[in-house]
Amino acid sequence: MTGPGAIPARAHPFEDGLGRGPANHVALTPASFLARAAAALGENVAVIDGERRLTYAALHARCRRLASALAARGIERLDTVAILAGNTPEMIEAHFAVPMRGAVLNPLNTRLDPATIAFSLDHGEAKALIVDADCAALAGQALARLGRDLLVVAAGGAALPGAVAYEDLLAEGDPDHVPAGPADEWQSLCLLYTSGTTGDPKGAVYSHRGAYLQALGNALAFGLTPDSVYLWTLPMFHCNGWSYPWAIVAAGGTQVCLRKVEPAAIFRLIAAHGVTHLCGAPIVLSMIANAPPEERTPFAHTVRCATGGAAPPSTVLRSMEELGFRVTHLYGATESYGPATMCLAQPDWTELPAEQRYARMARQGAGLATLEAVRVADPASLEPVPQDGVTVGEICLRGNTVMKGYLKNPAATEAALGDGWYRSGDLAVWHADGAVEIKDRAKDIIISGGENISSLEVEEVLTQHPAVMLAAVVAKPDPTWGESPCAFLELKPGAAATAPEILDFCRARLARFKVPRTVLFGPLPKTSTGKIQKFVLRERARGDDPTSA
Give the separation between CA 292 and CA 180, rounded to whole angstroms. Answer: 51
Give the separation between CA 167 and CA 71, rounded to whole angstroms. Answer: 16
Identify the DSSP state of 261. -
Closest Cα to residue 206, out of 333, 368, 63, 374?
333
Q: Please state, as a whole number, how many other Cβ atoms lie within 10 Å of the Cβ of residue 178.
A: 11
What count of residues does the chain have?
Answer: 549
b or e along 299-317 (b: 16 or more beta carbons within 10 Å of the residue's beta carbon)?
beeebbbbbbbbbbbbbbb
Calculate the CA 383 to chain-centre distance: 28
Give the separation between CA 64 and CA 62, rounded to whole angstroms. Answer: 5
Query: β-strands 151-155, 126-132: how paired?
Result: parallel
Please give the pLDDT value at position 548.
40
Q: Across the strands, what pairs with 423?
A: 396
Residue 64 CA: distances (Å) to CA of 93, 131, 177, 430, 459: 9, 19, 5, 46, 48
In order of their start, the domains of the chain are 57-207 (3.40.50.980), 261-442 (3.40.50.12780), 445-543 (3.30.300.30)
Backbone angles phi, psi at 90, to 5 degrees: -65, -35
* Amino acid (one-letter) located at 52: R
- Tell me the pLDDT tens digit for each residue of 224-269: 999 999 999 999 999 999 999 999 999 999 999 999 999 999 999 9
Contacts for 357 with CB less than 8 Å, ≥ 6 apart: 349, 350
Say what angle helices 114-123 and 136-146 make with each other, to 10 degrees: 60
Regions of the chain with pLDDT less than 70: 1-5, 195-199, 309-311, 440-443, 447, 449-452, 528-530, 544-549
Please give the pLDDT value at position 315.
82
Q: Please state, as a whole number, how many other Cβ atoms lie within 10 Å of the Cβ of residue 228.
A: 21
Q: Across the strands, what pairs with 453?
A: 446
Give the separation between CA 89 and CA 406, rounded to whole angstroms. Answer: 28
Backbone angles phi, psi at 34, to 5 degrees: -70, -40
Residue 533 CA: distances (Å) to CA of 200, 279, 308, 378, 423: 17, 20, 15, 27, 21
Calculate the CA 329 to chain-centre distance: 13
**DSSP of 276-287, one letter per residue?**
-EEEE-HHHHHH
Please give the pLDDT value at position 503.
94
Give the separation between CA 49 and CA 518, rounded to whole angstroms. Answer: 46
SS3 224: coil
Q: Please state, as a whole number, how many other Cβ atoms lie within 10 Å of the Cβ of residue 33.
A: 22
Closest Cα to residue 288, out of 254, 325, 331?
325
- Residue 350 is inside which H or E element, if any? none
SS3 66: helix
* Amino acid (one-letter) located at 515: V
Give the separation between CA 12 and CA 194, rounded to whole angstroms. Answer: 47
Please give the pLDDT value at position 200.
76
* Amino acid (one-letter) located at 487: A
